[in-house]
Amino acid sequence: MDSLITAVDLTPGQFWLTLLVVFGAGVVRGFSGFALSAIIMAIAAVYLSPVELIPMMWWLEMTASLMMVRGGWKNADRSVVFGLVGGSVVGLPLGLWLTLSIPVDASRLVALSVIIVLAAIQLRRIRMKFLATAPGLYGTGLVAGVVTGLAGVGGMIVALYVLAQEAVARSMRGSLVLFLFLSSLASMVIHILFGTMTLLAVTRGLIFAPAVVLGVAVGTLMFQPKYEPYYKPFCLVLLIVLAAAGLVRLFL
């Protein structure tokens, strides 16, 4: 065990905390279809910088995606997913470009505040009809890409869009799983171009991957028909909590 702790360049306390957080995030990912990276970032960013966490989390996200992608492909609304991915790929470079000229904290503040408001609106069961249109679909993907490059919370924007659809829980979850799988493939190219995928990041990702496997397995078992009516409210509340945690971290 000491050799593993040395390999990931963490203190023993940080190692065990990361292991616990990764497992818990895996459980949530297995049930909801998203939020793995957001949960890890919300806690582990206290002792690891985002530039260290993001490439490590690529391996964790890909591990979860490979476990879930078969069901995601089967249950997802693929036309919606492809539209979101297409818009996101176009928006991501723009977001990265804007990062050079706009304060990141300010953009993250706006993005997280918007997520809280929109999630609260959906909890109130107020329909946002414009999202059901083609411009709404591609526009959401574009915004998600921009926000990913600018503030790192684009996945939450996509989750809001998917949850706004009048679809069964299984389809919404499948769409989120498939989107994250496809967008993760694209993000590896970006990591390579920016040189952020270091050997340490790969080592950390592979060492913590088994915790994700176990967590996703537990979360997937929890996604049963009797719990599906609670799926959408759970995900919306989760988005609000994660966004609020991000705001608190900004102000602190």
The dihedral formed by the CA atoms of 197, 201, 207 and 208, expressed in degrees to the nearest 10: -100
Is a pLDDT exceeding 70 seen at residue 58? yes
34-43, 62-71, 94-103, range with the lowest pLDDT? 94-103
pLDDT tens digits for range 47-57? 887 778 888 98
Average pLDDT, the chain: 85
Say what the pLDDT of residue 212 is: 97
Mean pLDDT score, 88-111: 76
Say what the pLDDT of residue 21 is: 93
Say what the pLDDT of residue 38 is: 81
Q: Which residue has the higher pLDDT, 122 or 64?
A: 64
Give the amino acid at 164. Answer: A
Domain that holds residue 126: 2-251
Say what the pLDDT of residue 152 is: 63
From CA 15, how far away is CA 8, in angstroms rounded?
8
Alpha helices in 195-230, H assignment, sequence order: 199-222
Residue 240 corresponds to which tokens in the numbers above?
A: 């609000």
Residue 128's alpha-carbon distances to 119, 176, 205, in angstroms, are: 11, 19, 38
Residue 199 corresponds to which tokens in the numbers above?
A: 């050997």
Say what the pLDDT of residue 20 is: 96
Asked whether the beta carbons of 153 and 246 are under 8 A apart, the reply is: yes
**Cα 123–126–128 angle (5° rounding)?**
115
Say what the pLDDT of residue 47 is: 85
28-37, 97-106, 166-175, 215-224, range with the lowest pLDDT? 97-106
Mean pLDDT score, 64-89: 89
Number of domains in the chain: 1
pLDDT tens digits for range 198-244? 899 999 999 999 999 999 999 999 998 888 888 988 888 888 888 88
Is a pLDDT exceeding 70 seen at residue 151? no
